[in-house]
Amino acid sequence: MAALAVLRRSAPARLLSGTLCVHSRVLAPWRQYQSNRHFSNDKILVEMDESTGVAVMKMKNPPVNGLSLELLTEFSISLEKLEIDRGCRGLILTSASPKVFSAGLDITEMCGKSAEHYAAFWKAVQEMWLKLFGSNMVTIAAINGSSPAGGCLMAMCCDYRIMADSPKYAIGLNETQLGIVAPFWFKDTMTHTVGSRVTEQSLQLGQMYPAPAALKFGLVDQLVPEDKVQITAAAAMAQWLSVPDHARQITKPMIRKPIVDRLVKQREADIDNFVSFISKESIQKSLQAYMDRLKQKKQ
């Protein structure tokens, strides 16, 4: 048992290659850590079921769960807490808002801000990815709505994806549609999920796939009626957790560690790349025009 506990606790550190730091500027203090093991801060709600060892993490940043610096920071802190919790074996990631899993990166964080802000924001995006893709727990995405760009990235970081069965909800990496470019580790995550050929085409076209199309090529693993997404995720989790932890935890990094290490080795260069790219006037214009289109859609 002691050996298993060591494995359980040491594997994430190995997999994440020392990436436990989080940006300190917006660290929200934990409001509470109650006996029923629910904890929450502004943007992340965690419900931990001690009898199953499964935590449900809900993003709550209405209206569309934009991945702001604050949400990303709280996400990484919450995940880190669960990762070191011996009692937690599985994580179900979902949205507290109906109809949208996550609209991806909060575009307002990438518009009209300083270089320092862009660097801090990108570091938080990297941190989220390193922790979620490199997690030692079983991770299941319960995709209860649309999931473009960064939302799709989060879902793809998980071990298994269950999506609400509706053509109204779409998922994909649509960055080129905004005039921006998915960085190599977004591309690596998609390649890991669906293979090179589909990734090449999807990324160039910035394609969003309605849920039924996403199922066809494995971008999601299962479609269920919207009101069954959570319960199906819990059932799938029970199945994944029936595999002995130590064996699964040694297997997962065999595939994922080289992908994680690629970013770890060039984090600073990746931040510099992002800052210089996003600061360009032409890119700022594209993002602004996209935001204007989003707002006009309503009128």
Q: Which of the residues are catalytic?
A: 105, 150, 174-175
Strands 145-148 and 209-210: unpaired
Q: Is 53 helix (H, G, I), strand (E, B) or coil?
A: coil
Shortest distance (Å) from residue 228 CB to ligand LCMDX3IU: 21
Q: Is 134 helix (H, G, I), strand (E, B) or coil?
A: coil
Instruction: Mention every residue, 6+ apart, whose C-beta is less than 8 A from residue 158.
Output: 93, 132, 139, 140, 141
Measured from the CB atom, the residue of 161 and 187 that comes closer to ligand LCMDX3IU is: 187
How far is Cα 146 from Cα 64, in angstroms, rounded to an integer?
9
Strands 54-59 and 90-95: parallel
Shortest distance (Å) from residue 125 CB to ligand LCMDX3IU: 8
The mark string for 261-290 relative to ligand LCMDX3IU (x by CB under 6 A, - otherwise) is: ------------xx--xx------------
Of the listed pieces 74-82, 180-188, 218-226, 261-269, which binds ligand LCMDX3IU according to CB under 6 A?
A: 180-188
Q: How many CB atoms lie within 10 A of CB 158?
A: 24
How far is Cα 11 from Cα 174, in angstroms, rounded to an integer?
33
Q: Which of 180, 224, 237, 260 binds ligand LCMDX3IU (CB under 6 A)?
A: 180
Q: Give yes or no for residue 71 binding ligand LCMDX3IU (CB under 6 A).
A: no
Q: Give yes or no for residue 295 binding ligand LCMDX3IU (CB under 6 A).
A: yes
What part of residues 183-212 is at the interface with ligand LCMDX3IU (CB under 6 A)? 183
Question: The tokens of 294 are what?
Answer: 């989003």
Shortest distance (Å) from residue 186 CB to ligand LCMDX3IU: 7
Measured from the CB atom, the residue of 12 and 183 that comes closer to ligand LCMDX3IU is: 183
How far is Cα 209 from Cα 169, in angstroms, rounded to an integer?
8
Q: Is 30 helix (H, G, I), strand (E, B) or coil?
A: coil
Applying CB under 6 A, which residues contact ligand LCMDX3IU?
63-64, 66, 99-100, 103-108, 146, 148-150, 174-175, 178, 180-181, 183, 273-274, 277-278, 291, 294-295, 297-298
